[in-house]
Structure 1
Amino acid sequence: MTGCGKRPDGAGWGAAVWIAGVFALLAALPLAVSGRLPERVATHWGGEAPDGSMPLWAASVFPALVWAGSACATVLTTRRAAAPAPSWAGAALAFTGVFMAGLQASAVRANLDRADWREAGSVGAGVVLTSVVALAAGVLGRLAGRRGERPSPAAGTGVGAGAAMVIPAGERFVWLSRAANPWLHLVAAVTGVAALAAVLAAACGLLTGMQGAVVAPFALASVVTWAFGSVQARVSEKGLEVAFGPLGWPVRRWTPQDIESARAESRTPAQVGGWGYRLSGAGATVMLRAGECLVVRPRTGAEFAVSVDDAERGAALLNALRAGRPG
C-alpha cells in the first residue's frame, strides 16, 4: 500500500492486482456456468435449505461490488494511516478476498444443474472449508505485512564504504533494510489469481480431470516468485541475517566472527548475470534492483551481496561488530 501521491511499491502493485483479480472472479464465476444455472439462483440459506434468491446477473454483480467497496475502504484507510504496508491491511485483503471467492464458488456449486433455485443443495461444507482457508490466508497476509513494516535505520555519522560505525558503550543498534522487485510481485499476484480461478472452476464442476495440470503450474509460479520477490537484511549483535520473501524464509545467517569485512558497493544486473539470486565470479548476489548493495566477505567461501538501501550504514555496523567494538 502506498500513500497518496506516491508511486506504488511492489506490495502496492500486488494488492492492486489481487483486488482486480478477485473482483473479476466474483463477477465472472456465475456467468461462466450460466447455461447450467437456473434463471434465479439461491443466494441465502436458512440452514440446509435455501430461503433467498437473486437473478443471475445480480448474483454476479452484487458480491463483486461488495468486495470492491470493502477493498477500497481498506486502501483508503491505509493511505490515511500513512503506513507503507500495515499488517492488518494485508490480512484484511487476503481474508476477505478468499472468503468471498469461496462463498461465491459454494453458492454456484449448490445451484449447478438445478431447474429451480429452491432445489439448490447445501453450502455448509463449503462455508466451513472457505472459513478455514480464508483464516490461513489472513494469517499469511498479516505476517507478510508485518515484515513490510520496517523501523528506522540505526543512527550513525561519518560512515563510508568499508568503515566501522562508532557505537557508544552500552548501546545496542539494529539495522534493517528491505528491497523488492515490483515486477516479481506482479507475476506472483497474477499467477496466484489464476491458480485461485482454476480452483474455483474445479469446485464448480469445470476442469474435470485437469485440476492438477492447471492449478499446479500457476500455484508453483506464484509461490516461488512471491517468496523471492523481496529480501530483507538485518544487522544486530548476532551478525547478519538475510531473509527472503514477505514471510522471511529461507534465511541466510553470518555471525560477526564469520565475517572478514563488509562494504557498500554499486552493482547492476549486467555485472552479476541478471536478476534474482545470481552466482558469478564475484560470488553470490541477490539482485532485485540495480544500485547500492551490502557486500560481505566471509572468512571462508565467496563474497555475498544483497541489493538493499542504506547498505553503507549496514556495512559500518557489521564492521564495528566484527571488530568487537562496544554495542
Structure 2
Amino acid sequence: MSSGGNRNRGARWSAAAWVTGVLAALVALPLSAAGRLPQRVATHWGDGGQPDGSLPRWAVPLFPALIWAVLVLVLALLTRRTTPPARPWFGATLLFTGVLLTGAQAAIVHANLDRADWAEADGVGAAVALTVGAALLAGLLGLLVGRRGTTAAAAPAGGPVLDVPVGERFVWLSWTTNPWLQLTAAVFGLAAAAGAIAAAGGLIDAPWAAIAPLALVAAAVLGCSSVQARVTPEGLEVAFGPAGWPVRRWPVQDIESARVEQRTPAQVGGWGYRLSGLGTTVMLRRGECLVVHPRTGAEFAVSVDDAERGAALLNTLAAQRADG
C-alpha cells in the first residue's frame, strides 16, 4: 500500500528531527552557560550526594554528544540488518537515551551554575530521578508506537467489489500522514522543549505560561497529522496520531453504507479534523476519501489510500449483517 510509504517517510523525518534536536540540546545547553560554569564541571556524584568527578568545561558538550552520535550510528546500521518486528526497540532506545542524556545534561549545568569550583556543585538526586522516570515513559511510548506501526495487515484478494465468505477473518489497513502538519508539530514541540530544557538548566526562569501552550499546540497538531483506518469483521476503526489515540469506532450494525469520494481541503474548511456541511472529514491530503454513512448521525470521511477496497469491505459486511 502506498500509505505504508508515507508512514515510513514520516517515521524517518521524525527520527531525523529527534536526533538533531537532542544533539543540539546536548551541545547548546552547556555552551550557552559557559560563562557561568567553572573551568572543570562536576559530572559525577557519589552515594552521599556530593560531587566526586569532573570534566573540563570544553568536554561537557562533547562527551554526551559523542555518545549520542555513536548510538545513532549503531542503530542506523542495525536497522538495515534486522526485520521490521525488531525495529520498534530502536525507536524506543532513541527516545529513552535522548531524554536521559538531555535531562542529565540539564541537571549537570544547573548544579554547576555560578559555582567557582566543581566541588561546590549542588546535588542532582531529584533531577536524576525525574529524568529516569521521563526517559522510561518516553521509551515505553516509543515501543508502543513502533509495535503499532509494524502490525501486519492482510488484505483479502479481489477487486472493488469483494466476495468475502461469512465468518472469514480479515483485516484491511490504510495509513495517511501529512508531513506539513508533522513539521508544524515538531516546530512547536521543539520550542516548548527548548524552553523547558533551558529552565531545567537554570538558564532562564521557567516561563511555563508560554511553554505549556506551545506543548499543547504541538500535541494537538501531532494528533491530527496522521490517521489509520482499519476494517475488520467487527466494523471500522479510525485511530489518530502516532500513538493511535484517540480512536473512533463504527460497529457493522451501525453502518448503512460506505463509498469513495474525492474531496479537497477547500470543500471541508481546511486541513486536519474538520466539521462542515459534508459531515466530519479527516483531511490529511486531497483526493479519495473513505466515506461512511452511518444509520444515525452525520457522515464521516477520512482521506486514506486504497479507500475503494475499504468501502467495498464495509458494504459487504453491512449486506451480510442485513441478510443474517
- The answer (yes or no) to whether the contact 2:181–2:221 under 8 Å persists in 1 is yes
- The answer (yes or no) to whether the contact 2:88–2:142 under 8 Å persists in 1 is yes
Whole-Å separation in 2 of the counterparts to 1:309 and 1:6: 10
- The answer (yes or no) to whether the contact 1:11–1:185 under 8 Å persists in 2 is no
In the superposition, the TM-score normalised over structure 1's length comes to 0.90
Residue 46 (structure 1) shift? 2.8
Alignment of 1:266-281 (within 5 A): 266-281=262-277
Residue 248 (structure 1) shift? 1.7
| Change over 3 Å in CA distance of 1:66–1:32 after alignment to 2 | same
Corresponding position of 1:216: 212
Residue 72 (structure 1) shift? 2.8
Corresponding position of 1:196: 193
Question: Is 1:289 the equivalent of 2:285?
Answer: yes
Whole-Å separation in 2 of the counterparts to 1:76 and 1:307: 34
Moved more, 274-283 or 28-37: 274-283
The answer for unaligned runs of 5 or more in structure 2 is none
Amino acid across the alignment from 1:195: A
Aligned length: 318
Residue 13 (structure 1) shift? 1.0
Corresponding position of 2:223: 227
Q: Deviations over 1:128-162 (max 9, x none)?
A: 11100111111111122222224234112122xxx
Corresponding position of 2:13: 13
Question: Is 1:254 the equivalent of 2:250?
Answer: yes
Residue 84 (structure 1) shift? 9.7
- The answer (yes or no) to whether the contact 1:259–1:296 under 8 Å persists in 2 is yes
Whole-Å separation in 2 of the counterparts to 1:303 and 1:8: 30
| Change over 3 Å in CA distance of 1:142–1:213 after alignment to 2 | same
**Aligned-residue CA RMSD (Å):** 2.3
SS state at 2:58 partner: helix
Question: Is 1:206 the equivalent of 2:207?
Answer: no
| Change over 3 Å in CA distance of 1:8–1:234 after alignment to 2 | closer
- The answer (yes or no) to whether the contact 1:238–1:255 under 8 Å persists in 2 is yes
* Candidates 239, 251, 266, aligned match of 1:243: 239
Whole-Å separation in 2 of the counterparts to 1:283 and 1:62: 54
Alignment of 1:84-99 (within 5 A): 86-99=87-100
Residue 170 (structure 1) shift? 4.0
In the superposition, the TM-score normalised over structure 2's length comes to 0.91
- The answer (yes or no) to whether the contact 2:235–2:250 under 8 Å persists in 1 is yes
Residue 267 (structure 1) shift? 2.3
SS state at 1:297 partner: strand
Whole-Å separation in 1 of the counterparts to 2:141 and 2:165: 39
Residue 91 (structure 1) shift? 1.1
Amino acid across the alignment from 1:289: R
SS state at 1:110 partner: helix
Corresponding position of 2:45: 45
Question: Is 1:132 the equivalent of 2:128?
Answer: no
Whole-Å separation in 2 of the counterparts to 1:252 and 1:23: 37
Whole-Å separation in 2 of the counterparts to 1:291 and 1:273: 15
Whole-Å separation in 2 of the counterparts to 1:221 and 1:72: 32
Amino acid across the alignment from 2:173: L
| Change over 3 Å in CA distance of 1:184–1:154 after alignment to 2 | same
Residue 77 (structure 1) shift? 2.2
Q: Deviations over 1:195-248 (max 9, x none)?
A: 22211211222332x421231122112211121211111111221111111222
Residue 281 (structure 1) shift? 2.5
Whole-Å separation in 2 of the counterparts to 1:169 and 1:283: 31
The answer for unaligned runs of 5 or more in structure 1 is none
Residue 85 (structure 1) shift? 9.8
* Candidates 171, 180, 183, aligned match of 1:183: 180
Q: Deviations over 1:11-43 (max 9, x none)?
A: 211111111011000001111111211011112
Whole-Å separation in 2 of the counterparts to 1:22 and 1:141: 16
Residue 167 (structure 1) shift? 1.2
Q: Deviations over 1:165-215 (max 9, x none)?
A: 21134421111111111122222233223222211211222332x421231
Whole-Å separation in 2 of the counterparts to 1:292 and 1:12: 25
Corresponding position of 2:315: 319
Whole-Å separation in 2 of the counterparts to 1:214 and 1:137: 23
Whole-Å separation in 2 of the counterparts to 1:170 and 1:302: 29
Residue 90 (structure 1) shift? 2.2
SS state at 2:320 partner: coil
| Change over 3 Å in CA distance of 1:7–1:231 after alignment to 2 | closer
Residue 101 (structure 1) shift? 0.4
- The answer (yes or no) to whether the contact 1:86–1:148 under 8 Å persists in 2 is no
Residue 312 (structure 1) shift? 1.2
- The answer (yes or no) to whether the contact 2:175–2:227 under 8 Å persists in 1 is yes
